[in-house]
Structure 1
Amino acid sequence: MRIIAWSGPRNLSTAMMYAFGNRPDFEVMDEPFYAAYLAATGLDHPMRDAILASQPSDPATVAATCAAEPKIHSYQKHMAHHMVAGMPLSWAESAVHLHLIRHPARVIASYGAKRDTITEADIAFAAQATLYDRFGGIVIDTADLRDNPREMLQKFCVEIGLSWSDAMLSWPAGGHPSDGVWASHWYGAVHRSTGFAGPEGPLPRPDRPDLLRAALPFYDALRDRRLIAAR
């Protein structure tokens, strides 16, 4: 089984990768198209040179790796905004698709703490909606996941026909061997964690209301399709 997990940044995507990476029957991949995305766009991201040196930047090479059937199950963490025009997508056919979403006010606040300049393309709500329209899949709101990780993860496993493992509920502190080289910049909080954090507090007031207005319709549309755990 290949699970293709789509999200924008700051969507619990690394924690979810760690949950699957802690299972003995899964291998995980961390944003394999990041270098290809930077090479294609020329964008100046934190640790750009190190990222380009750490991964193949040819999209066809990356796609072939992502399309390969794993010896065991595979969980692939992908950023929706990495799939810019010209990136292949046929490699993602015939896979299980997971879409992680988080309220854009929280994404904007969290991402803004790491970068001075933010665009709608950076937070990727429109890009993720486009990928959902193409592939469909299962949507999980990270608020639901943080409220009850066991229930939501068990429900997801049932939906995709995967056996349950308690190993998904915790992981060792300090990161995972499959972390991308950019982990030292982005993954500090999750490296200190050993499991999913609890519920978040009130929504922050974003200092970019224009971004919030642009992202909310895409978030709301995906949230209407989210997986809801039994109560």
Structure 2
Amino acid sequence: MSYPILFLWSTPRSLSTAFLRMMLERGDFFVVHEPLSSIVSQGFATIGDERVESEAGLVELLREKSRNSAVFVKEVTDSRYGLIDDPAFPHLATHTFLLRHPEQSIASHHAMKPEVNRDEIGYEHLLDVFDTVRVARAEVPVVIEAERLLADPGTVVRDYCLRTGIAFLPSAMTWTPDDRREWSRTAPWHRDAAGSSGFTVIPKTYRTTVHNDPRLAAFHAHHLPFYERLRAHAVPAAGQSVGAGSR
């Protein structure tokens, strides 16, 4: 028997860690935090108590884990991963996408990493993953918007569960604030998620933004078309399952 593998792809600073926190609270998924990003940044990823040092090794381990449990992988697109070019990649999992407006994500990313470069913002890479999956699977992957998730978390998560074929668990919508082992490598980036108890709006202002910094404005101009192409696929109403539960 094989259990489903479910990916959530997003750009950095897009509420994806809070979504992962909800998936941890469910208790019915083996949850993996940014393994591809870890391999790029430090040469390996820690998956549970195991270490993998290549994308091929990661795929093998995810498949192994899915023999015993459903698997949820949260990944960010601050890099372009070679795995995307593997013809088997789109069929490894059900791939879903979380999207936040670049005006906010760019300012937040810069606040955490002032030396961030244009490609690390990630929308171009995110669209690349989306289009690769869409074409190979001949279906439109699920795209949810961070802004709607904050505004109406119950509706958005229920819809996400319906579309991916997993149960909606209301009890997982709130949790006890804590700093999780799963994101220990990048813990400073996840202070808001660690201090949260649900999907809540945390008002923030940034000194440097796309409106007052020419470099960030150029990043925004570059990535906005990719964001808009992805946002065109964010469907606000529930529809047919995309099949994670039937894998």
Q: What's the TM-score bracket when you normalise by the shorter of the two chains? A: 0.7 to 0.9
Match among 40, 45, 60 for residue 64 of structure 1:
60
Distance 2:92 2:36 in 1: 19
Q: Are the equivalent residues in 2 in contact too, given 1:35–1:57 (CA < 8 A)?
A: no
Give 1:199 shift.
Answer: 7.8
Partner of 2:21: 18
- Answering whether residue 146 of structure 2 is matched by residue 142 of structure 1, we say yes
TM-score by length of 1: 0.84
Alignment of 1:61-140 (within 5 A): 61-68=57-64, 69-85=66-82, 89=86, 90-136=88-134, 137-140=141-144
Alignment-mate amino acid for residue 111 of structure 2:
A
Secondary structure of the 2:180 match is coil
CA deviations 1:159-188 (Å, max 9, x no partner) are: 1221110133112211333224221x2111
Gaps of at least 5 residues in structure 2 are 135-140, 239-247
Give 1:91 shift.
Answer: 4.6
Secondary structure of the 2:193 match is helix
Judged with a 3 Å threshold, the aligned counterparts in structure 2 of structure 1 residues 117 and 56 are, in CA distance, closer, same or farther, namely: same
What do you get for the CA RMSD once the two structures are aligned? Answer: 2.6
CA deviations 1:210-231 (Å, max 9, x no partner) are: 000001001011111003146x
Match among 4, 7, 17 for residue 4 of structure 1:
7
Secondary structure of the 1:75 match is strand
Distance 1:28 1:106 in 2: 26
Give 1:87 shift.
Answer: 6.6
Partner of 1:190: 193
Q: Are the equivalent residues in 2 in contact too, given 1:19–1:168 (CA < 8 A)?
A: yes
Secondary structure of the 1:78 match is strand
Secondary structure of the 2:181 match is coil
Secondary structure of the 1:226 match is coil
Gaps of at least 5 residues in structure 1 are 41-47
CA deviations 1:63-86 (Å, max 9, x no partner) are: 212333242221101112344346
Judged with a 3 Å threshold, the aligned counterparts in structure 2 of structure 1 residues 191 and 67 are, in CA distance, closer, same or farther, namely: same
